[in-house]
């Protein structure tokens, strides 16, 4: 295979993951005809077909399945090589990519990131805002702020602090609907809950509550909407105490103590010595709790 193009392996792996040429082409940011030609050239070079074509899409042949596992290992090795190379960078220019959830991004970071950018003007800051954990293996982010302890052995983790949580509602809502006097009473009120996200369900089960998302009369996975709706008198929200108090909401005491929300700072061990990543982590460790206190 002297004429083999090593980029073909990336094409092959992406097509296998996506199951169709059109989806794979979008993911790879190439045209579908180009990808189709590359796949055909790869199969001609190998002398065997990699996929069975049908109207339902592409399915790996037995030969393709044999190659897939090794191809995945090759991709993991390539990603680790990139992380190791990036991990040796000692300059304070270039980019650093931070992954956070919606609440941290909207309410905590705006007050401190300008200071970071002033301190390191040659650094480009990229912010990925998602409630899903980004892949630090694949370099979707360099640094992540997470609300759960990572279990991967190849991640470096710092526990920064815990955020107190509570149930709150506006005075207007309580005047119209009354103040809950018990847990059962509160669950008969309009609780602002999640849609597809299972964090309230899972957290409730840990406290002995058998509650499902479908039971909430208002559901959204966009967490800032919970707070904004509560401020406008839409219902009872369970979220960060400091944010609720900042917005003038009234605490609801029905004998429930919600577990505090731990805040972890995470990076991959292969890039922990990268100077850009190190200064971002040190800055967040220094300033993030101050932004909570300042709320």
Q: What is the pLDDT of residues 63-76, one digit of tens each?
A: 888 888 878 787 77
CB 177 within 8 A of CB 293: no
Written as one string, the DSSP assignment of the chain is -TT--THHHHHHHHHHHHSSHHHHHHHHTS-HHHHHHHHHHHHHHHTS-SEEEETTEEEE-HHHHHHHHHHHHHHHHHHHHHHHHHHT---S-EEEEEEE-HHIIIIIGGGTHHHHHHHSTTEEEEEEE-SSPP-TTTTS-SEEEESS----TTEEEEEEEEE-EEEEE-HHHHHHH----SHHHHHTS-BEE-SS--HHHHHHHHTT----GGG-SEE-S-HHHHHHHHHTT--BEEEEHHHHHHTTPEE--SS--PPPEEEEEEEEGGGTT-HHHHHHHHHHHHHHHHHHHT-
pLDDT of amino acid 114 = 95
| Among 99, 100, 108, CA closest to 291 | 108
Asked if pLDDT for residue 100 goes beyond 70, the answer is yes
pTM for this entry: 0.67
Question: What confidence tier does 220 reach under pLDDT thresholds 50, 70, 90?
Answer: very high
Top CATH class of 165-251 equals alpha beta
Output 1-5 pairs: Cβ under 8 A, ≥24 positions apart: 1/45, 1/46, 3/45, 4/45, 5/38, 5/41, 5/42
Contacts of 17 (CB under 8 A, 6+ apart): 24, 27
Output the pLDDT for position 90.
55
- Relative orientation angle of helices 32-46 and 21-28, to the nearest 10 degrees: 110
> Whole-angstrom Cα distance, residue 115 to residue 59?
51
Instruction: Give the model's confidence band at 249: pLDDT under 50 very low, under 70 low, under 90 confident, else very high.
Output: very high
CA atoms within 13 A on the CB side of 152: 13
Which residues of the chain form CATH 1.10.10.10?
7-87
Over residues 31-89, the pLDDT tens digits come to 888 888 888 888 888 888 888 887 777 888 888 888 888 787 877 766 666 656 655 55
User: Quick one: what percent of the chain has pLDDT higher than 90?
Assistant: 42
Average pLDDT over residues 252-262: 91
> Does residue 172 carry a pLDDT above 90?
yes
Mean model confidence pLDDT for the chain: 86
Q: How many CB atoms lie within 10 A of CB 206?
A: 9
- Does residue 91 carry a pLDDT above 70? no
Q: Cβ distance 16 to 64 under 8 Å?
A: yes
In this predicted structure, the answer to whether residue 225 has a pLDDT above a threshold of 90 is yes
Domain span(s) for CATH 3.40.190.10 in the chain: 94-162+261-293, 165-251
In CATH, the architecture of 7-87 is Orthogonal Bundle (1.10)
Considering the domain delimited by 94-162+261-293, tell me its CATH architecture: 3-Layer(aba) Sandwich (3.40)
Q: What would the pLDDT profile of 159-171 be if each residue is shown by its tens digit? A: 999 999 999 999 9
């Amino acid at each position: 295979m002297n004429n083999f193009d090593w980029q073909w392996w990336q094409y092959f792996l992406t097509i296998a993951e996506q199951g169709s040429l059109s989806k794979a082409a979008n993911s790879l940011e190439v045209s579908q005809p180009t990808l189709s030609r590359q796949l055909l050239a790869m199969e001609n070079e190998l002398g065997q077909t990699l996929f069975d074509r049908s109207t339902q899409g592409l399915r790996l042949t037995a030969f393709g399945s044999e190659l897939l596992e090794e191809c995945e290992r090759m991709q993991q090795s390539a990603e680790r090589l990139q992380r190791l190379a990036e991990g040796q960078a000692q300059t304070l220019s270039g980019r650093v990519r931070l992954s956070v959830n919606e609440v941290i991004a909207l309410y905590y970071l705006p007050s401190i990131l300008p200071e970071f950018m002033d301190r390191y003007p040659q650094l480009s800051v990229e912010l990925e805002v998602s409630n899903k954990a980004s892949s630090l293996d694949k370099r979707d982010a360099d640094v992540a702020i997470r609300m759960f302890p990572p279990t991967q052995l190849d991640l470096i983790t710092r526990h920064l602090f815990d955020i107190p949580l509570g149930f709150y509602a506006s005075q207007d809502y309580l005047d119209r609907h009354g103040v809950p006097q018990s847990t059962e009473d509160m669950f008969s009120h309009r609780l602002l809950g999640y849609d597809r996200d299972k964090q309230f369900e899972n957290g409730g089960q840990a406290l002995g509550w058998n509650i499902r998302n479908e039971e909430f009369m208002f559901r959204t996975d966009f967490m800032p909407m919970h707070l904004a709706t509560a401020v406008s008198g839409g219902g009872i929200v369970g979220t960060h105490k400091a944010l609720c108090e900042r917005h003038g909401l009234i605490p609801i005491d029905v004998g429930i103590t919600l577990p505090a929300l731990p805040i972890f700072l995470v990076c991959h061990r292969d890039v922990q010595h990268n100077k850009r990543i190190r200064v971002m982590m040190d800055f967040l460790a220094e300033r993030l709790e101050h932004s909570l206190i300042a709320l």
